């Protein structure tokens, strides 16, 4: 006997994501799913971000990590509320984990919530968390071929940060070619070259965050 | 990326547990999947995880039949549809039109063949 089904395999995750999205909308907090390879510089970018936005935006961070709290400790040093999710080997965050975590947060007091996903260029892109936007960090030491090798991550992101641009002279990273590939995958995507060492480009990223926060608040009022 | 395949399979398995249960099935022979060309899933790891996950269940030994769904986009400007080649989402005709994905991201269970 054949049974017709037609159901999404990730339907369960999508249901939790929709609940999260409704909750974030109600509280008017702009939520970013922050993704990229291990070591691309996600936490470093957040450290720079907190320095810049201190006193201007009310921000919190969720840190996804396989086993440790090292990244959460780095965030905590800046006095920004941070909650750690240990995936215990899981290679991405899912919407259910985020839902359990945000229950402990005072969302109404926030303008911006950044969720640093587990370092991984593949499957985090498949798991919606209820975020408003996704951002991906690619560092020049990873090579300019990565967007085409891991297309989904770049397709699904609203902004791509090309990080460690200070190291570009030492790597054979062709920035023009990487940007062209990213724009081909996602026409209209925002791309910023950035260095956490020199601080170059951090303002472009912070401006993008500011615009997101403003747009989210306008949405809530409407 | 075994772990992620395993998580997809758990989703699939719970769907199929429910459906097979509703129909009082005792044995699952075949599972039909629709997998988009741009879904981040590899067939081999899917099959491997499936075997592990279904061991000792009514789905043990069930065949996974995967139907690939081509990546197709519709141009937001001229309205034409194209198969997207090399992940190039610019319209090949009007050049500055953008292709919106209309298929190719699926990860779905299409049917179950049960006794
Ligand atoms: N030269 C240089 N080094 C950087 C830059 N950004 C980050 N790094 C270094 O890269 C390493 C990894 O940075 P992290 O911020 O921990 O990267 P991550 O993406 O958060 O890593 P995971 O969370 O483990 O996936 C650290 O040693 C940083 O100091 C940069 O712009 N330039
Ligand atoms: Mg980190
Ligand atoms: Zn994963
Ligand atoms: Zn067109």
Cα B76 from Cα B44, distance rounded (Å): 35
Chain B residues close to A10, C-beta within 8 Å: 8, 11, 107
Whether A135 and A35 have beta carbons less than 8 Å apart is answered as yes
* Inside any domain, residue A170: yes
Instruction: Show the beta-strand stretches assigned E in chain B.
Output: 28-36, 63-69, 72-75, 81-83, 99-103, 107-114
CA A99 to centroid of ligand 2, rounded, Å: 20
Whether A31 and A130 have beta carbons less than 8 Å apart is answered as yes
Q: Which helix (H) or strand (E) holds A19?
A: helix A11-27
Could you give the 3-state DSSP secondary structure of residue A145? coil
Rounded to the nearest angstrom, the minimum Cα separation between A153 and chain B is: 10
Whether A50 and A71 have beta carbons less than 8 Å apart is answered as no
For residue A12, what is the nearest residue in chain B, using CA coordinates? B11
For ligand 1, whether the C-beta of A36 sits within 6 Å is yes
State the sign of the Cα–Cα–Cα–Cα dihedral B38, B41, B47, B50. Answer: negative
* Inside any domain, residue A2: no
Least confident of A13-27, A166-180, B17-31: B17-31
Task: Tell me if chain A has a CB within 8 Å of the CB of B92.
Answer: no
For the CA of A65, the nearest atom of ligand 1: 23
Q: pTM for the full model?
A: 0.92
Percent of chain B scoring above 70 in pLDDT: 86
How many Cβ atoms are within 10 Å of B37's Cβ, its own excluded? 16
Q: What is the pLDDT of residue A21?
A: 97
Res. B3: pLDDT tops 60:
no
Number of domains within chain A: 1
Nearest alpha carbon to residue A3 among B107, B85, B115, B74: B115
- Segment B61-65 shows an average pLDDT of 89
pLDDT band per the 50, 70, 90 thresholds, residue B7? low
How many Cβ atoms are within 10 Å of B6's Cβ, its own excluded? 18
The burial class, CB within 10 Å (0-12 / 13-18 / 19+), for A141 is middle
Higher pLDDT, A10 or A185: A185
For residue B17, what is the nearest residue in chain A, using CA coordinates? A5
Rounded to the nearest angstrom, the minimum Cα separation between A93 and chain B is: 11
Size of the A and B interface in Cβ pairs below 8 Å: 94
pLDDT digits (tens, 9 = 90+) for B10-60: 777 777 777 777 766 678 899 899 999 998 777 777 787 778 878 888 788
- Give φ, ψ of A206 to 5 degrees: -65, -35
Higher pLDDT, A16 or B107: A16
Percent of chain A scoring above 70 in pLDDT: 100
Res. A195: pLDDT tops 90:
yes
For ligand 1, whether the C-beta of A119 sits within 6 Å is yes
For the packed helices B43-54 and B2-22, what is the interaxial angle rounded to 10 degrees?
Answer: 50
- Segment A82-94 shows an average pLDDT of 91
Range of the domain at A72: 11-216
* Inside any domain, residue A46: yes
* Inside any domain, residue A104: yes
Task: Tell me if chain A has a CB within 8 Å of the CB of B114.
Answer: yes
pLDDT digits (tens, 9 = 90+) for B69-78: 999 999 999 9
Task: Provide the CATH number for the domain around residue A35.
Answer: 3.40.50.300
Cα A197 from Cα A131, distance rounded (Å): 28
Least confident of A40-54, A85-99, A105-119, A185-199: A85-99
For residue A8, what is the nearest residue in chain B, using CA coordinates? B108
Instruction: Name all domains of chain B by residue range, CATH numbers in brackets.
Output: 2-70+105-114 (3.30.2320.50)
**Torsion region of A71: left, alpha or beta (phi above 0 gives left; psi -120 to 50 gives alpha):** alpha
pLDDT band per the 50, 70, 90 thresholds, residue B79? very high
Q: What is the pLDDT of residue B6?
A: 62
pLDDT band per the 50, 70, 90 thresholds, residue A37? very high
For residue A92, what is the nearest residue in chain B, using CA coordinates? B4
* Inside any domain, residue A119: yes
- Whether residue B25 and residue A1 make contact (CB cut-off 8 A), yes or no, is yes
- Whether residue A126 and residue B98 make contact (CB cut-off 8 A), yes or no, is no
Mean pLDDT of chain B: 84
For ligand 1, whether the C-beta of A124 sits within 6 Å is no
Res. B1: pLDDT tops 50:
no
Task: Tell me if chain B has a CB within 8 Å of the CB of A126.
Answer: yes
Q: What is the DSSP string of A83-100?
A: EEEE-TT-SS--HHHHHH
* Inside any domain, residue A139: yes
Task: Tell me if chain A has a CB within 8 Å of the CB of B71.
Answer: no
Q: What is the pLDDT of residue B60?
A: 87
From atom 13 of ligand 1, which residue's Cα is the shortest distance away?
A: A41
Cα B9 from Cα B14, distance rounded (Å): 8
Higher pLDDT, A48 or A123: A48
Q: Give the ipTM.
A: 0.87
Cα A160 from Cα A42, distance rounded (Å): 12
* Inside any domain, residue A3: no
Res. A216: pLDDT tops 60:
yes
* Inside any domain, residue A22: yes
**What's B47's DSSP letter?**
H
CA B54 to centroid of ligand 1, rounded, Å: 40
């Amino acid at each position: 006997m054949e049974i017709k089904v037609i159901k999404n395999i990730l339907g369960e995750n999508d249901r939790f994501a929709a609940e999260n999205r409704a909750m974030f909308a109600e509280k008017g907090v702009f939520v970013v799913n922050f993704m990229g390879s291990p070591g691309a510089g996600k936490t470093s970018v957040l450290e720079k971000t907190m320095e810049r936005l201190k006193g201007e935006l009310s921000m919190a961070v969720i840190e996804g990590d396989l086993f440790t709290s090292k990244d959460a400790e780095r965030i905590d040093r800046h006095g920004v509320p941070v909650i750690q999710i240990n995936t215990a080997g899981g290679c991405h965050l899912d919407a259910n984990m985020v839902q359990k975590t945000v229950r402990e947060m005072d969302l109404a007091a926030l303008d911006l919530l950044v969720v640093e996903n587990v370092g991984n260029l593949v499957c985090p892109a498949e798991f919606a968390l209820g975020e408003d936007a996704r951002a991906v960090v690619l560092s020049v030491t990873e090579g300019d071929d990565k967007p085409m090798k891991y297309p989904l991550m770049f397709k699904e992101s609203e902004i791509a940060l090309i990080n460690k641009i200070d190291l570009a002279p030492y790597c054979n990273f062709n920035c023009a070619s990487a940007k062209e590939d990213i724009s081909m995958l996602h026409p209209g995507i925002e791309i910023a070259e950035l260095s956490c060492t020199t601080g170059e480009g951090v303002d472009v990223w912070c401006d993008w965050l500011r615009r997101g926060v403003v747009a989210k608040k306008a949405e809530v009022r409407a | 990326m075994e772990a992620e395949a395993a998580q997809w399979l758990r989703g699939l398995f719970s769907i199929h547990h429910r459906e097979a249960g509703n129909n009082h099935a005792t044995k699952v022979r075949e599972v039909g999947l629709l997998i988009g060309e741009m879904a981040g899933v590899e067939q081999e790891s899917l099959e491997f995880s499936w075997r592990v996950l279904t061991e000792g269940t009514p789905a043990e030994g069930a065949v996974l039949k995967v139907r690939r769904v081509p990546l197709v986009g519709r141009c937001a400007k001229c309205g034409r549809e194209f198969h997207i080649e090399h992940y190039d989402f610019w319209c090949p005709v009007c050049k500055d039109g953008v292709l919106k994905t209309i298929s190719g991201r699926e990860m779905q269970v299409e049917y179950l063949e049960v006794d």
